[in-house]
Amino acid sequence: MFEYELHQLRTAELAEAAQQRRLVREARQARKALRNRGGHETGGRVIPARATNRYTRAA
């Protein structure tokens, strides 16, 4: 009976650890989604449209 109780205890510990890992993964995914959602377009021009002249004027 003692071995069965140890097995049950170990199973409960493993389930708790797995739940903790899932929670951490979900939090990371949520933070990543917020970063990616930040209002920036993905892809596109590197130089903004308002920068019509790439070089400074000569003196």
**pLDDT tens figures, 12-50:** 999 999 999 999 999 999 999 888 876 555 555 566 666
pLDDT of residue 49: 61
pLDDT of residue 38: 65
This prediction's pTM: 0.55
Report the distance separating Cα 25 and Cα 34, nearest Å.
14
- Structure token digits, residue 30: 């949520």
Report the distance separating Cα 9 and Cα 16, nearest Å.
11
- Structure token digits, residue 51: 């920068």
